[in-house]
Amino acid sequence: PLRPTLPADILARKGGVPIVCLTAYTTPVARLVDAHCDIALVGDSVGMVLHGLPSTLGVTLEMMILHGKAVVRGAEKAMVVIDMPFGSYEEGPAQAFRNASRLMAETGAAAVKLEGGVHMRDTIAFLVARGVPVMAHVGLTPQAVNTLGGYKVQGRDADAARVMADAEAVQAAGAFSVVLEKVPEGLAARITQTLSIPTIGIGAGVRCDGQILVVDDMLGMFTAFRPKFVKRYADLGQAADAAIADYAAEVRARTFPAPEHAFPDVVPVKK
Ligand code: KIV
Ligand code: NA
């Protein structure tokens, strides 16, 4: 039976068959993701991938709601998780609840995701206690790019204890899963072993409980930059470029439209 995936289903997948996740920002892509994945994430990466922003910092709640609505329309069985954008939750638990409840109520998403570990503990607990399932996100947290000093690997050497503490803190606060972004594979494996909630890796090696990628990255549609952890499963950007070049050449040569794409002046009589 087609029933949407829920946070409890994801929690129950700990240590089992890996949890398959991709981002989605539109209805057609959500339909494609829904056919094969457990989770469709409306990531704030939408700002960089679809809106041309230089980082995720300029993404607004209104943008997330618009894309969230589109994704929910295309997802029947995958769980839709929606990112809380920069500035919509960091002031404190009350602000976070006000905006998380809007994201869920206005889009129909089943859960929110927010960035941060130890310092988000109280906020996550506040949300979970009030009916907002939370996916956490630790390691490289792109909304903190300016304080982190770039999109660097997190948790190498002495820094490993910080990432482990962050992961333990979000679990204690009640998160139903946690994204580990750009952390060394051995550390990600240790965090996965230590936690009782599923870890979803991106640039975190194969020993996480699940994986996520930005769908436009893995399809070769977003090519402005390419982190090491992105595997290209298709080259749709190149295919689209070739198709648009053909169209432009045919319009200039007046070979498009051909007669079969045009309407005759006289209605043909059927015999
Ligand atoms: O915004 C996003 O796409 C994300 C995933 C890459 C985890 O947060
Ligand atoms: Na994000």
Condensed to tens digits (0 to 9), the pLDDT of residues 91-124 reads 999 999 999 999 999 999 999 999 999 999 999 9
pLDDT digits (tens, 9 = 90+) for 174-194: 999 999 999 999 999 999 999
Ligand 1, pocket residues at CB < 6 Å:
23, 41, 43-45, 83, 179, 202, 212, 214
Q: Can you identify the CATH homologous superfamily of domain 7-231? A: Phosphoenolpyruvate-binding domains (3.20.20.60)
Give nearest CA residue, ligand 1 atom 2: 43
205: exposed, middle or buried (C-beta count within 10 Å: 0-12, 13-18, 19+)? middle
pLDDT at 2: 66
Q: Helices then strands (H, E): number in the chain? A: 11, 8
Average pLDDT, the chain: 97
Task: Tell me the whole-structure pTM to 2 decimals.
Answer: 0.96
* Angstrom distance (rounded) from CA 186 to CA 17: 20
Q: Residue 202: enclosing H or E segment and its boundaries?
A: strand 199-202
Decide if 198 contacts 11 (C-beta within 8 A). Answer: yes
Q: State the amino acid at position 154 in one-letter form.
A: Q
pLDDT of residue 68: 98
Per-residue pLDDT for 45 more than 60?
yes
Residue nearest to atom 8 of ligand 1 (CA): 43
User: Which pLDDT value is given to residue 224?
Assistant: 87
Residue 163 has pLDDT above 80, yes or no: yes
Query: Which of 202, 230, 231 has most ligand 1 atoms within 8 Å of its beta carbon, as the pocket-test mutant?
Result: 202
Tens digit of each residue's pLDDT (9 = 90 or more) over 56-87: 999 999 999 999 999 999 999 999 999 999 99
- Name the DSSP letter for residue 208: S
Q: Indicate if ipTM > 0.95.
A: yes
